Amino acid sequence: VQQIRDRWLPSNPSFIALFKAYGWWLLLPTGLILFAFFLQGKRTQKKIVRQEIQLRKTLNALEDAVVVLSPDGRVLFANQSSLGFLRHPVEHPDELSGRHYTVLFDLRWRETDPNFDLRTAIGLLCKRPEQSYSLQLSVGHQIKDIEVHLRLLGSCLDKLSCKIILTLRDETDYREATALLAYRAAHDRLTGLLNHFADFLEAQCDAHDQKKSEGLILWLDVDDFRLINETNSRTAGDQVVTRIASYLSSSVPPNGVIARLGVDEFGIWIPDVQSFAYQQWPDELLSGLQDMRVEVGEQRLRVSISMGACLADCRLGAGLLNDAEAACRRAHREGGNRVVWFSRDDQEIVSRRHQLATLHQLKQALDEEGLRQVIQAIAPLPLPSDNPAPVPHYEVLLRLRGADGSLQSPVQFIEAAEKNHFMTEIDRWVIRQTFALLARCGEHPPLLAINLSGATVQDPSMNAFIRSAFREFNLDPALICFEITETSAITNYELVLELVHSLRQMGCKISLDDFGAGLLSFEFMRRLKPDFVKIDGKLVRDIEHDPVASVIVTTIVQVSKVMGAKTIGEWVASGSRTRRPCAGWRPSVSISSKVITTTRRFRSIA
């Protein structure tokens, strides 16, 4: 140890002596460490520069203007997009550094408080670090709608590190597109007229004093518009609509509003009619439309208009437009090309509204099981008095349950269903319900007669529907007799005969209902070859005291006998009427040749 110490340590081991002897051993690792720190700092600096360049590229690629502000509002950084928001143009974003934002951006505040500006909003960042506002920005001679977003970075107490991020987004195109979509949604594309007229009227009533907001409503309908399209083209129809819209726009008072209500229907609203000669104006408007000609190719079409007019009282609410439409429908039924004023005492309009109410009740009844079926027995004469035998033949009838639970006769709702094209839906419901009933009867089910309206037998899809129902309920078609009623006109006899032929092939029976009082003829009876002919009850009721009715009934019975059809007399309450000699009517005749309806037997089958 002593030898090693004498060799490696100086005789005087002071700090200076030691440094002189061994200092170079310390300088080398120290230099290496310092050099390593130097290289690491360079790499970090280059990385920061690269990130800053990448951040600038990212910010410059944004469509939104991004501006970094100091707490006193001076620009520290601005991206390339911010140049499009400046009051005065500059070439490079770096030219904005150090300048105050109020010099660069001409912001116009939209808030209700005129003293509230962006400086106030920046001052509020300490309480709420993120805020958004809708402002207007003046760029040259253009006013832009912009969305401004402010965000605080750092603490308000540290003025050196605190920064404010100001983001400006141009909402001009978006708001214009939104406004355009809203306009197109509210206006007709062909004519530019208002679409949602009912909503407009409701808004008008809400905006005015209900006691003083009486106005005039007109409903216009082009007569025979379908004929115009069919004899010319769709383009011709569009030209007629456009020409009418143009004429109305030039004829309606400045405070009036025109709307397109349908393909060939228009509505007009004129408020404050106290200062307007509204009594004569609809006739003057119609006269001008009558004189108008629409040039379609080489033709000059004359337009006929049905017009309904009514004084609108906002206190009546949603019924405003319905009154004008009801008056227009009456003008159309009376021949068109006229003005009809709405009157609450008009029985035709009252009847129409009652039909619509009944139709609504019918639709609701289908969904909520408000319809009820009953059966009426069809029995041979004489009617048994004691211990009657089971009646094998029934007619299915329909009743509508009222609000009080009572059952309404079909006379009260069938007309409404037929006039509003709803009878086919009802007949489909009856068919399915009747088939379901028979499927539950077990052994020896009776023969059930189902009424089919004129609209139903002319429905091309009815054949497939009936076949599908037979398959679904696995029912013998021989248990069903379809009665063709005369309550609505049959125009396509070939289609009816095709359906009847198909039903016969399935095994169904066919009957003509209410024959002698409706629209069907002996010629149709001859071509149809029914299994049963039901004579209208009014004729049967009057045969004892009306010789004409007696002859008609006799003729129907004789023709049916020649055709091999059985006759059914309606409204026969007893056997008394059969005492009068009548061809084919004898109490002793068996059921195989003659059957008669008795209205005294009803049984619910719902």
State mean pLDDT over 1-23. Answer: 65
- Which residue, 343, 371, 399, sits at the end of a domain? 343
pLDDT at residue 478 greater than cutoff 70 = yes
User: In the prediction, which pLDDT does 593 show?
Assistant: 28
Q: Is the pTM of this model over 0.85?
A: no
Domain at 281, CATH number? 3.30.70.270
pLDDT at residue 386 greater than cutoff 80 = no
* 417 within some domain: no
What residues contact 487, with CB distance under 8 A and at least 6 apart?
414, 415, 418, 453, 454, 514, 518
Give the residue among 498, 488, 368, 481 at the shortest CA–CA distance from 434. 481
| Angle ∠(75,78,82) on CA atoms, nearest 5 | 115
One domain, residues 144 and 39: no
One domain, residues 496 and 538: yes
Largest CA distance in the chain: 167
* 107 within some domain: yes
One domain, residues 194 and 87: no
pLDDT in tens, 245-266: 999 999 998 888 999 998 899 9
One domain, residues 168 and 291: no
Please write down the HEC assignment for all residues of 533-569.
EEECHHHHHHCCCCHHHHHHHHHHHHHHHHHCCEEEE
How many folded domains does the chain comprise?
A: 4
One domain, residues 35 and 152: no
Residue 148's alpha-carbon distances to 59, 169, 429, in angstroms, are 16, 7, 62
577 is in which domain, residue-wise? 425-604
One domain, residues 475 and 338: no
Count of C-beta atoms within a 10 Å radius of residue 415:
16
Report the percent of the chain where pLDDT is more than 70. Answer: 82
Distance CA 456, CA 454 (A): 5
Distance CA 434, CA 452 (A): 13
Domain at 105, CATH number? 3.30.450.20
pLDDT at residue 450 greater than cutoff 90 = yes
* 383 within some domain: no
One domain, residues 159 and 229: no
pLDDT at residue 4 greater than cutoff 60 = yes
* 204 within some domain: yes
User: In the prediction, which pLDDT does 314 show?
Assistant: 62
- Which residue, 176, 203, 238, sits at the end of a domain? 176
| Alpha helices in 9-62, H assignment, sequence order | 15-61
Name residue 378's beta-bridge partners.
393, 597
Distance CA 163, CA 505 (A): 90
DSSP letter, residue 478: G
Residue type, 81: S
* 56 within some domain: no
- Which residue, 290, 308, 343, sits at the end of a domain? 343
Q: Are residues 147 and 123 in contact, defined by beta-carbon separation less than 8 angstroms?
A: no
User: In the prediction, which pLDDT does 518 show?
Assistant: 62
Distance CA 32, CA 25 (A): 12
One domain, residues 172 and 196: no
One domain, residues 172 and 319: no
Domain at 513, CATH number? 3.20.20.450
Q: Are residues 455 and 418 in contact, defined by beta-carbon separation less than 8 angstroms?
A: yes
* 395 within some domain: no
pLDDT in tens, 568-603: 887 775 444 444 333 233 332 222 223 333 333 333
pLDDT in tens, 315-326: 555 567 888 888
Residue 237's alpha-carbon distances to 195, 205, 227, 262, in angstroms, are 18, 34, 9, 13
One domain, residues 283 and 147: no
Give the residue among 372, 431, 364 at the shortest CA–CA distance from 606. 372
One domain, residues 34 and 103: no
Name residue 598's beta-bridge partners.
572
Count of C-beta atoms within a 10 Å radius of residue 223:
17
One domain, residues 480 and 569: yes
User: In the prediction, which pLDDT does 411 show?
Assistant: 73
